[in-house]
Amino acid sequence: MDPVTNDQVARTTGARTAEPLTQYTQRVNQRVRAFDRRHPLPWDLHVTGFWVTAALIDYAGGGWRNVTQNPDTAGWLVLVLSLGLSVPLLWRRTHPATVLLAMAPFAVVNAWSGATLQAALLQLLVIYHIALRTPLRNLWWAAALMFTPVVVSTARHGEGEWNQQLGSQLTSIVVAVLIGVTVRTRQNYTEALEDRARRLEVERDQQAQLAAAAERARIAREMHDIIGHNLSVITGLADGGAYAAAKSPERAAQALDAIATTSRQALGELRRLLDVLKDEGSAHHPAELTPQPALTDLDGLVDGVRNAGLPVHTTVEGSADLPAGRQLTVYRVIQEALTNTLKHAGPDASCEITLAYGDRGAVTATITDTGRGAPPSAVSEGRGLPGMRERTALYGGTLEAGPRPHPEQGWRVRLRLPEESPQ
């Protein structure tokens, strides 16, 4: 039986269930609004053309005579008023306040002459756009401007009661303003949501970049600790083997064996570190998961340094009962200190490591050598000392590194990790 693909399932599902009407309507509405934002003129021309046509039909058909207070109004004046109250709608969205000011004289003449054209109601569309697009303080003078024709009509012709005409006009203005304010509030709310979504997207990308940078820094630190230490050990073994080759071939062979062992260990650790960088989808075999070094591996580290020719004495006070993260920090600091000693202490140097364990994860590690000390450039450059400080800061500890006080000779690194905070 042939497997069913996702496309076939989608086509079958789409054939069985029709798209909801609300989603279809919303999608069409979004497309229309997007087109209007890109090309506002066609929509403005259509709306204006519709109302201009309606005003001209009212003029040509004589429909205005059914509600007029002065049937004897000149035809040319009715035509001018019809155009003056409808044509300015073309600019209602870009300049609504100016459009209302331009329509005001025609509305006043319409009321004074008694023509009472229905096209005067188009001012409500303009005041809607004032509420939608301009500061709300403009509504005060806009409303006063629209009340003026009512006052002129009542004073001129005296038909109807003031309260009735003013109330009717006020209701119309309030409805138009409320619609404009409602639409404006919804638009502002939608824009705020979109802006928040954009900002959250930016913050998400920034967090991803920071996480990637932190991971790169961690990997670089691990590579420095692994490769730097092993290469220093290999260098010491090679120097010792070259010195012993002429006098003791057996010692030279032992040095070569130690170099090979250390090289294989470094290569294996490097491969494990690089395996975690592989894309999971492209890797055919899962990366080998090996635990990070702990304090139980410290003896092997010290033995390797001793084989490289550096005498190391270790003193331990208390029992090692530290979490894995603290053990890794102590191990890496000791590893880096021994690496620097191999590089810079010179011949005939020795090293002493003192570990003092306290309660609840507290520990003090002191690494002291009797060499000539590292040059200033070796301390200020590279990733060794900054890497040790970064590791120490993760647990709120302190790290001191520098020459031993005069008259003593050599270099001292002291790590202090405080007690763990109670949860």
**Which single residue is written with the structure tokens 């021309």?**
45
Phi/psi at 417 (5° precision) = -110, 125
Angstrom distance (rounded) from CA 208 to CA 148: 62
Domains, the chain, with CATH or none: 39-160 (no CATH), 293-423 (3.30.565.10)
Q: Which pLDDT belongs to residue 159?
A: 59
What pLDDT shows up at residue 106? 93
Contact (CB, 8 A) for 391 and 333: yes
* Residues 6+ positions from 75 with CB-CB distance below 8 Å: 59
Q: Are 417 and 334 in contact (CB under 8 A)?
A: no
- Given a cut of 60, whether residue 293 has pLDDT beyond it is yes
Helix (H) or strand (E) holding 41: helix 40-61
In the block, tokens 């060794």 appear at 384
As a whole number, mean pLDDT of residues 285-308 equals 73
Burial 347-386 (b: 16+ CB within 10 A, else e): eebebbbebebeeebbbbbbbbbbbbbbeeeebeeebbbe
pLDDT at position 285 is 44
Residue that the structure tokens 């491969």 belong to: 271
Residue pLDDT, tens place only, 4-46: 444 554 444 444 445 678 888 878 878 888 887 888 888 889 9
| CA pair distance 188, 257, nearest whole angstrom | 75
* pLDDT, mean of residues 59-81: 86
Q: Would you say residue 365 has pLDDT above 90?
A: yes
What pLDDT, on a 0 to 100 scale, did the predictor assign at position 380?
44
pLDDT digits (tens, 9 = 90+) for 170-221: 888 889 999 999 999 998 898 888 888 888 888 887 887 777 677 666 666 6
Residue 387: predicted pLDDT: 73
- What residue has token string 């509030």? 185
Taking residues 361-371, report their average pLDDT. 89
Asked, as a colleague might, if the bond just before 407 is cis with ω within 30 of 0, I would say: yes
Starting at the edge strand found earlier in the chain, the sheet holding 363-369 runs 312-317, 351-357, 363-369, 411-417, 398-403
Q: Is 136 helix (H, G, I), strand (E, B) or coil?
A: coil
| DSSP notation for 245-279 | HTT-HHHHHHHHHHHHHHHHHHHHHHHHHHHTTS-
d(CA 41, CA 47): 10
- In terms of pLDDT, which residue wins out, 33 or 401? 401
Q: Among 91-95, 105-109, 247-251, 384-388, whose mean pLDDT is lowest?
A: 247-251
Give the whole-angstrom CA distance, residue 149 versus residue 106.
9
Contacts of 102 (CB under 8 A, 6+ apart): 84, 88
229: left (phi over 0), alpha (psi -120 to 50) or beta: alpha
pLDDT of residue 52: 92
Q: What is the mean pLDDT of the chain?
A: 79
75-84 helix and 40-61 helix, angle to the nearest 10 degrees: 160
Side-chain-side CA neighbours of residue 259 (13 Å): 16
What pLDDT sits at residue 236?
67
Rounded-to-10 torsion of CA 335, 338, 340, 342: -130
pTM: 0.49
pLDDT tens readout for residues 303-334: 888 887 788 999 998 887 788 778 888 888 89
Q: Confirm if 84 and 114 have CB atoms less than 8 A apart.
A: no
* CA pair distance 4, 10, nearest whole angstrom: 10
Say whether pLDDT at 56 is over 70.
Answer: yes
Residues 6+ apart with CB under 8 A from 303: none
- Does the pLDDT of residue 80 top 90, yes or no? yes
Q: Quote the longest CA-to-CA distance of the chain.
A: 134
